[in-house]
Chain A
Amino acid sequence: QQQVKQSPQSLIVQKGGISIINCAYENTAFDYFPWYQQFPGKGPALLIAIRPDVSEKKEGRFTISFNKSAKQFSLHIMDSQPGDSATYFCAASPNSGGYQKVTFGTGTKLQVIP
């Protein structure tokens, strides 16, 4: 059962454009939403994360927008660069003490063309 749905599966963006990746979740117990970035031949690495008490978080060119009522969150990459070409995974986990399993989306392969 896919609890975090991610789209699109792949994305091609011109250099300087905005890349947008969307995720939707079902489990209302989720309260931590990280994004991971994976370059070819490397493992995923945490890029940015948000909690549902804020609607937006920005770090440099990367912004997470969060809509709690719609149970959706998205990653926006402003002024996209060829170096941003990677696979991006959204994820979600609850936080009710102890270890809580992280559920990952299926990934979006982003290609930024010069």
Chain B
Amino acid sequence: DVKVTQSSRYLVKRTGEKVFLECVQDMDHENMFWYRQDPGLGLRLIYFSYDVKMKEKGDIPEGYSVSREKKERFSLILESASTNQTSMYLCASSLPTDGNQPQHFGDGTRLSIL
């Protein structure tokens, strides 16, 4: 079974802090994703990466950056955290999408910015 592990289940940070969310997958997947999940808004794509050191903006990249130095690890960075970034963050991975491969999700990091 694919396992996507997010380093923290809960995180509390202060406004203006630089925040790192880490994600590791163990199935050698090329694609990795970061979403945020908010009630009534579903899952919104922040960034994705289709290879090491490659990244593409999703629908809501403002205020975020990402890093993928190794194939198995994808980090989401909040450069200067703000209260409107309080949310559930989900990491996912998948094989290349010939045939539309399913995305495998981690269990999320609930981030609170005070």
Contacts and interface: CB of A to CB of B under 8 A. Distances in A.
Contacts of B44: 104
B102 interface: yes
B103 A102 contact: yes
A44 B2 CA distance: 13
Given A32-B100, A93-B100, A44 B42 contact: no
B4 A43 contact: yes
7 contacts: A34-B100, A36-B105, A43-B105, A44-B105, A97-B98, A98-B97, A99-B31
Given A99-B48, A104-B43, A106-B40, A41 B107 contact: yes
Given A9-B40, A93-B97, A97-B98, 14 more contacts: A6-B42, A34-B102, A44-B43, A44-B90, A44-B103, A45-B105, A46-B102, A93-B100, A99-B48, A99-B50, A100-B100, A102-B103, A104-B44, A106-B41
B28 to A, nearest CB: 16
A105 B40 CA distance: 9
Interface residues of A, number: 25
Interface residues of B, number: 26
B45 interface: yes
B42 A95 contact: no
Contacts, number: 58
Nearest to B110: A41
Interface string A27-54: 0000010101000011111100100000
A44 B106 CA distance: 8
B61 interface: no
Nearest to A9: B40
A49 B97 contact: no
A101 interface: yes
A7 to B, nearest CB: 12
Given A43-B108, A99-B48, A99-B50, A89 B100 contact: no
A104 B90 contact: no
Nearest to B41: A106
A52 to B, nearest CB: 12
Contacts of B108: 42-43
B91 to A, nearest CB: 8
